[in-house]
Amino acid sequence: MKHNFYLLATIHFLLAASCNGMNKPLQKLLVNTLYGNFKVTEPVLIDLFNNPVMERIKQVRQYGAEDYVIKQKKEYTRYEHCVGVWALLRMYGADLEEQIAGLLHDASHTVFSHVGDRLFKHESALCSYQDDIHEWYLKKQKIDLLLTHHGISLTTILHSNNKHTMLEQDLPNICADRLEYNLQAGLLTDHLRTDDIATILDNIRYGNGHWFFVNEESAKKLAMVSLFNTEHVWSSTAAYFITKWTAQALERALEIKLLTHNDIHFSTDPLVWNKLWISNDPVIIGCLDNIVNYKTAISMNAHKKEPIKVKFRGLDPLVQINDQLKRLTSIDSEYNQEYERVKAYIMRKSKL
């Protein structure tokens, strides 16, 4: 399997003659992703790619307000993630409904992504705020009507539908969602090159409800990305406090009616970020100053020993050994030691 790599997901519109000989133009899409080029002819997918729901998440950053102060190598948005997940599902044989589920799975994120969990006091460790509002959000955006037009029920593509095991699985398993954001994270932190990604994708399989590797080295390369990013990016002290201060700024903005709940759910990061900065409200500006000067602000908060509630996102992939599937931690003692170290670190951090 060969892979062509592009840093941004882009779409090209093509016109093709219909096969009925009447030369009636049919719209096709050529979708370029990090994982290759995909020609899309399914009308429902074409309509979804053209929908404002997808347009909005082009301006919702995967890492929220962190991206404004902790610069990444490249921009990584919820749009790129969703299209990447869809691409992986398509590559490995998911049916149309699961591809749609993957394309839309993060469409309901609020501005600044997971800040919605803090802002709306969502404490569940099993799912996110955007999961809980997923059905409501898609109905508000009339995606249910779009799907019905194509003979598909909204209920078949929701997060609550547990049949999409290629898209969603519990940690420490791999799923298309987790595979995509770990591959991107590997690129962003220089732990993976594009040829590493090609090798990983050549050595991973999906079958009988499981993602698994046929090569231990590739499994470990991806899994080490998950441990590094859990410790230093996703569950870092900086990420925790930046999300906290962003949520406090948004809460204040709602209180003084600078923003509405619709702004939080349906607007974009740049629009809301700019509104916050021009507010001149001392509470909001104080939060934004903390975000911009996060290193100093965190050190000043250190003495408070505030519990930092963060999640362990380490992967423990299945590896095929002969005819059996075994966890990487059970066959690689070095990885097992690092896995347990990072897991214990995250647990201690959350109990401070």
pLDDT score, position 71? 79
Q: Is residue 73 part of a domain?
A: yes
Give every CB contact of residue 137 below 8 A, 6+ residues apart in sequence.
107, 108, 130, 265
pLDDT score, position 74? 82
Q: Which two tokens stand for residue 82?
A: 């969703």
The 3 state secondary structure assigned to 166-191 is CCCCCCCCCCHHHHHHHHHHHHHCCC
CB–CB of 241/298 below 8 Å?
yes
Place of tokens 């899309």: 40
Enclosing domain of residue 314: 10-350
Cα 78 to chain centroid, rounded: 6
Q: C-alpha dihedral over 331, 337, 338, 339, to 10 degrees?
A: 70
pLDDT score, position 9? 57
Provide the domain count of the chain: 1
Q: Is residue 2 part of a domain?
A: no
pTM of the model: 0.91
Q: Is residue 3 part of a domain?
A: no
pLDDT score, position 10? 58
Q: Is residue 4 part of a domain?
A: no
Show the CA angle centred on residue 32, arms to residues 30 and 36, nearest 5°: 110
Q: Is residue 93 part of a domain?
A: yes
CA atoms within 13 A on the CB side of 269: 25
pLDDT score, position 126? 61
- C-alpha 58/C-alpha 10 separation (Å) is 11
Q: Which two tokens stand for residue 172?
A: 């420490």
Q: Is residue 146 part of a domain?
A: yes
- C-alpha 173/C-alpha 319 separation (Å) is 11
Could you tell me where the beta strands, DSSP code E, fall in the chain? Answer: 10-17, 25-33, 36-40, 204-207, 210-213, 318-321, 324-327
**CA distances for 219 relative to 43, 56, 113, angstroms:** 36, 34, 28
Q: Provide the 8-state DSSP code for 123.
A: -
Q: Is residue 307 part of a domain?
A: yes
Q: For the domain that residue 48 is a member of, what is the CATH number?
A: 1.10.3210.10
Q: Which residues of the chain have pLDDT under 50?
A: 1-8, 13, 15-26
Q: Which two tokens stand for residue 313?
A: 């996102």
Given the DSSP bridges, would you call strands 318-321 and 324-327 parallel, antiparallel or unpaired? antiparallel
Q: Is residue 1 part of a domain?
A: no
- C-alpha 347/C-alpha 327 separation (Å) is 21
